[in-house]
Amino acid sequence: MNEDISTRKFWRNQARLSAIVVFASVSLSLLLVWLSLGDLPPHGRVVALWLGFAIPAVVSPGAMVYVTFQNLRNHRLHQRVHRLANSDDLTGLANRRCFTRRGTLRLAEAAHTQPTDQQTALLLADIDWFKRVNDTYGHEAGDDVLSQVAQALIHAAPADALIARLGGEEFTVMCDVSGPDELNRLAERLRQAVEATHIVYRGDVIQVTISVGLAIARRCDTLSTFLSRADKALYDAKDRGRNRFALAA
């Protein structure tokens, strides 16, 4: 979505720049011709003015087309670099670096603009027994599992959620909820979505589950303390048998 907005902004800026350059080129050309008309007869003045208009009116749009496509190539290169720097190659989710930046910003904005009936929640999910998948089927199968789990989280999470892969088999979802009850329902929806996902790899069906640690932001929270409380809740969920969620105190 951000890339779509950036691309629309790019084309608006290019159209504005092209219009300014063409208008300025034609206007300057006509002014210079007018100042140099001197003692030309009326017919010569008409021809000179026409050439003064026609030449820049043809040349400057052609030049701007070339400039625009050069700028477009640079714009796409910038988007690619930005995407590589901020997204996880395997799943397409935000990576840890992107999550740290956007999560910190989201927490800060919530303190000033969030409605009183909403709270910022964090769900920290870890795939249960993921090492067994790699040991049994190989790392390629493990990559398929990670990709499918990411898709399950995307479809089950709220549309405005910040979803990231922090590394390994650990994912996080940051979103707004009305309170612990809604957060519990969301965690159960994510858990069920992953549990219902069947990954077929070379004829074998792989099914995995997740354990989820939940936390609701406090006023004094930084992203680090927020994550730490969710992480403790995640360990609690794993200690209680996995394939479940636990809410931080």
Q: Quote the tokens at residue 143.
A: 């990559």
Q: Quote the tokens at residue 246.
A: 């636990």
User: Measuring CA to CA, which residue among 158, 174, 157 is closest to residue 166?
Assistant: 174
- For 72-91, give one letter per residue: b (16+ CB within 10 A) or e: eeebeeeeeeeeeebbbeeb
Phi, psi of 232 (to 5 degrees): -65, -40
How is residue 28 annotated by DSSP? H
Quote the CA–CA distance of 148 and 194 in Å, as a whole number: 8
Quote the CA–CA distance of 68 and 210 in Å, as a whole number: 48
Active-site residue flag, 169: yes
Quote the CA–CA distance of 189 and 183 in Å, as a whole number: 10
Element (H, E) at 174: strand 170-177
Which residue out of 169, 170, 188, 195 is catalytically annotated? Answer: 169
Phi, psi of 168 (to 5 degrees): 60, -130
CA distances from 152 to 34, 66, 205 (A): 69, 44, 16
Q: Quote the tokens at residue 185.
A: 């329902």
Catalytic residues: 169
